[in-house]
Amino acid sequence: MKIKKHIISQKEHQISRNAISENALKVLYRLKDAGFQAYLVGGGVRDLLLGKKPKDFDVATDAHPEEVKRLFRNCRLIGRRFRLAHILYGRDVIEVATFRGPHEGEKNSHADRNKEGRITRDNVFGSIEEDAVRRDFTINALYYNIRDDSIIDFTGGMGDLKSKTIRMIGDVQTRYREDPVRMLRAVRFAAKLDFRMEAETHALIFDLKHLLEDIPVARLFDESIKLFQGGYGRHCFHLLRDYQLFEVLFPITEAALNNVHSGTRNAPALVMIEQALNNTDARIAIGKSVNPAFLLSVFLWHPMLDYKQRFIDMGEHEMEALNSASREVITRQHAFTSIPKRLSLIMREIWHMQPQLQHPTRKRALRTLQHKRFRAAYDFLLLRQSMGESDLAIWCAWWTAIQTKTPIEQEKMCANLGNAPKKSKKYKKRRKRIIT
């Protein structure tokens, strides 16, 4: 790839040092003062140019990892595929990477590829020009120079920022083969920035999406979290489906979404996922925390129900079938995007509490209310009710009301549950009287 260096002076761009984190500036200045080159690079520069607030700041330098470690006592070296330095300031982490170089022609390159062309080890150091063409997209290859506040553009990234284009640097097929996760990153940036993909960057995803099957499932899980918990999850979801990538990450869910019932697609599953993603995006927008277990429990809810019915048809009792189905669907999903055990346990608790919330009893209602997963299970019930599931409105109202009561009032509400028979022709009317 031909490199044409373009320097954008401070007067020509809108980045102010005041917008850069104090800790990132500390790292840049210390590297500069020690005689090394040091640049702010990647998403931080891109977002600042777009008028957005970066979540983190990355630094590129000609200092090798061990040299960075000698400069910073608060440094730790990580990574096997490519050695990185993390400079720690409390919870704030500034990632420092040595300029990467080309693999070709390096006798002692410390770089390996598999038969598909994927880079499995990548400790090849080089110059800033070589580093620029090793990055994925042009808009992520812009370098902010701390020495004069200029921006250096080697790949036309400034032009692509202005035209709102996601463009791969270099030969697109080679770059996707080097790291198939770049396909997911392309989708994520397109959703996050509301950019369009350049023609070849777009088209080759359909031809090469199968390469993601060779990526470690733990890494695919991490990428999934970035896709769905970045504040633009619903847009990511629809783009992933458009590019046939969602079926690679969540094939069981995609199968449930495409189940044909009376000639139509499984709309309830789709609407439930969309609403959960809307809720997640809204929480992130106002700075609230989100737990990936809740969203995963939504993704796999309808597949779990399908498996539950299969186990019931095989003669299992409903709760036994629920246990079997939850284990089965999580085990199957684990083969595509691994789900940490701490999250899978929460998912199962959310699912297993649904019958308790739908059919509370006098003895168990208070224990259910005090359960550590009550709030997540209750939110899940509300989501199901908003999708139009029958007979849930009454109990959503009941559980909503009981949370506002004093302990004595809660005991009275639970005691009244005993007055409602489980089966009656006037079931709904009597349940309504219990609530009031």
Catalytic residues: 56, 58, 136
Buried b (16+ CB within 10 A) or exposed e, 45-60: bbbbbeeeebeebbbb
For residue 110, give the amino acid letter: H
Structure tokens at 428: 């709904």
Q: Which residue has the tokens 């277990």?
A: 293
Task: Specify the DSSP class assigned to residue 198.
Answer: P
Q: List the structure tokens of 232.
A: 């633009």
Report whether 312 contacts 326 (CB < 8 A): no
Tokens 């000639």 belong to 263
Write the single-letter amino acid at 119.
I
- What does the angle CA 130 – CA 134 – CA 137 come to, to the nearest 5 degrees? 125
Distance CA(411)–CA(164), nearest Å, equals: 59
Strand 38-41 and strand 84-89: the pairing is unpaired
| Rounded Cα–Cα distance for residues 59 and 64 (Å) | 13
DSSP class of residue 19 equals G
Task: Please list, in sequence order, all residues whose beta carbon lies within 8 angstroms of the beta carbon of residue 432, skipping any fewer than 6 positions away.
Answer: 394
The C-alpha atoms of residue 303 and residue 116 are separated, in whole angstroms, by 32
5: its two tokens: 């260096």
Q: Report the alpha-carbon angle 379-256-320, nearest 5.
A: 65
